[in-house]
Amino acid sequence: MTDPHAAALKHAAPDEERADASTGSSALWPGDSGRLREDSRRALLELIQGPYLSSSNRGRLWVALLADADEIRSRLHELFLELVIDRNDEIAFVRPVDAGERPVPLAVRSRALTFMDTLMLLVLRQRLLAARGERRVFVDRSDVFEQLAPYRVARDEADFERRMNASWTKLMNKLGLIHRAGGDDRVEISPALRLIFDDDRVQSLRREYERVLERGGEAALDLDAAADADDRELTP
């Protein structure tokens, strides 16, 4: 596999431009004191805005990230954030640093997930894990909705369908964890989903939802209430 860092420097001059690759000495506007190149700055911003940076949809920024990873990691540390790079799936994201007993401020905005959101993410994550080794994983919306049917509890069918559609749209348009793949009903699952939910969190959520199934119609769950989770904190 071609090393992205080497590819980014392939046509650089031996001395001047190779030095510039790590520090980005060119200012972008009068008085600019930044040291990163423009693409590396954009990669840094993409990471902070979240939920992740992927080579599949931000190829140029991915190359810049790998070329300037040390500089970008240093800037993130100044914001109490840790850089995580998965080179196999070519995905990167940030999470709060683990500072032990030292309290640290939260530098990224979290997005609360509803009960239905988390259910749908669990179904999609399971599909990803079942297809381990496959480069791309696809799923039909109807298949996902069918797996969610047992959780309808006391809700009427039309209301439950509306909530499933709302979560499907949210995962596609706001979180970018599923992408259209040739039609309205078929999507590709982002491999980032493997990283967003760690195994401990998944097991905790599953136990809770199994209790929901056991209570059946007696469980008057508010599917609009935020689950005790969010997409920016559920990282490994």
Range name among 3-12, 31-40, 47-56, 58-67 with the lowest pLDDT average: 3-12
Instruction: Write the single-letter amino acid at 146.
Output: E
Evaluate if residue 204 carries a pLDDT over 50. yes
Q: What is the CA radius of gyration of the chain?
A: 21
8 Å CB contact between 148 and 142: no
CA distances, 168 to each of 46, 159, 198 (Å): 23, 14, 21
Instruction: Write the single-letter amino acid at 18.
Output: R
Domain ranges in the chain?
A: 4-96, 112-230
8 Å CB contact between 126 and 205: no
Evaluate if residue 75 carries a pLDDT over 90. yes
pTM of the shown model? 0.68
In this prediction, residue 8 has a pLDDT band, given cuts at 50, 70 and 90, of very low
Sign of CA dihedral 5, 7, 10, 16: negative
Compute the distance between CA of residue 137 and CA of residue 156 in angstroms, rounded to an integer: 32
Q: Can you give the pLDDT at residue 217?
A: 44
Domain 4-96 has CATH 3.30.70: no
